Structures are given as C-alpha cells and as structure tokens.
Amino acid sequence: MATIQRFVLTGAILALAVLSGVSQAQERHGRGGPPPGYRSPHWQFDNRYHHDHYYPSRGYVAAALPGGSISIGFHGGSYFYQGGVWFRPQGPRYVVIAPPIGIVVPLLPPAYTTLYIGGAPYYYANGAYYATAPGGYAVVEPPPGADAAQPAPVLPPPKPAPDPILYPRNGQSPAQTEADRQECNRWATTQPSAMADASVFQRAVAACMDGRGYTVR
C-alpha cells in the first residue's frame, strides 16, 4: 500500500502566491477566470461535466509545494497532492503532472464532480477519475461510458474545521514548532484508521503535540 505522509505549510512565498489556496481559488472563481492577482499564465479551465474550475497546467514547475500537500509513495516514486493538483519532484522544484493510474489518496479534492457510470460512483476533478478503494480513493482509467456521463447533483461539502492553534508551553521557537508539527503529522498517519477518519488523525496529532510541550486548541 502506498506510504502516505502529510506535509504542512511550506514556507516559500512564491509558491504560496501561485499555488497556496488552490482549492479556495477554484471555489470562488469557477467560471470567472483565475483569481485576481494570479498573474501566472499556467492556469487551465476544466469545464468537463460542468466541473468549471481552474487548475495549474500540467507541466508547470513550482518553486515549492503549497501548504497542506500530501506526500504519497507509489511504485518507488514520490508524488505530492493538494486540492486535486498532483506534483512530482524535479530537482529542487515540483512539476504539475497527471496522476499515475492506481495511486490512492485519503481524501477527494475539495471540488469534484460525481458521476454514476454503470451504476457505480466515480469522482472527477482536474482531468482525473477517482473510485473508492481501500484507504481512500484510487485514480482510475476513464470508465467505459465516461464520454456520455452526466454529473450527478451533490450537496455542498461541510465546511472544514479550522486548523488547530498551537501554544508552545516551553518557549519553543517557530522553527521548532513547525518541525514538531511535521513530525507529529507523519506519526499520526501511522495510527490505525487515521487516514480513513480525519477526527482520528487530528486527535493523534493533538496527542503528539501535547507530548512535545504544546497546548492544542
């Protein structure tokens, strides 16, 4: 099974300006074009199945990963995923790619289109099709009949819980806090059911941070 690690808040301002908040930008600017201030030409509009969202174009090279990216090992390679966008390392940078067939992510993109094809549900976003699989959702080949499929109405997803606030109890520096946060995120992914249940993952992170001298609220 793919090894999954959660990466948080990469500190490169350029990458944040272009890529951070990709899912929020997609939600706000589905039809009206890339969000104001996004001057990069590396955006494409995905209107298949009335998905109507913008994504960084495949082949675009980013200086750093956007915050909240998930690292996934697959067939000996390293991949990163955030908001329906896939990256692969290219030297010290990261190139936007099409995801390999069979790779599994724990969560669907914030914006996706549900399709029922042959009586089975599929989920579409940014040129990729996903189907339920052990541990989350697997990228699959376009299923037979995908060209004629119609999107199914879906309820808007629940508003995500805000990120917890960390209070260092022992005077830890911001750099140490971030290092501890990353270590706790990685450790939390090893706990049973953590990658299938966000509440389990968050409780594991909170317990780890508490043990390292932080109050989590």
pLDDT digits (tens, 9 = 90+) for 101-116: 999 988 888 888 889 9
- CB-based contact 54:45 (threshold 8 Å): yes
Lookup: tokens for 191: 């706990």
Q: CA quadruple 110, 74, 18, 64: dihedral positive or negative?
A: positive
- Interval 172-209: pLDDT, tens: 999 999 889 888 888 887 777 666 667 778 888 889 99
Give the model's pLDDT for residue 134.
87
**Residue 45 pLDDT grade (very low, low, confident, very high; cuts 50, 70, 90):** confident
Measured between alpha carbons, how far is 2 from 72 in angstroms, rounded to an integer?
A: 6
Which has the minimum average pLDDT: 16-25, 105-114, 127-136, 139-148?
Answer: 16-25
Matching residue, tokens 């990963």: 65
The rounded percent of the chain whose pLDDT value lies above 70 is 73
> What is the bridge-based pairing of β-strands 151-152 and 113-117?
antiparallel
Lookup: tokens for 152: 């199914």
Lookup: tokens for 51: 């998905």
Give the model's pLDDT for residue 93.
93
CA distances, 211 to each of 48, 166, 181 (Å):
47, 12, 12
Mean pLDDT, residues 58-74: 88
Q: Please give the helix or strand (H or E) that residue 174 lies within, else none.
A: helix 174-188
Amino acid at 194: A
Is 213 strand, coil or helix? coil
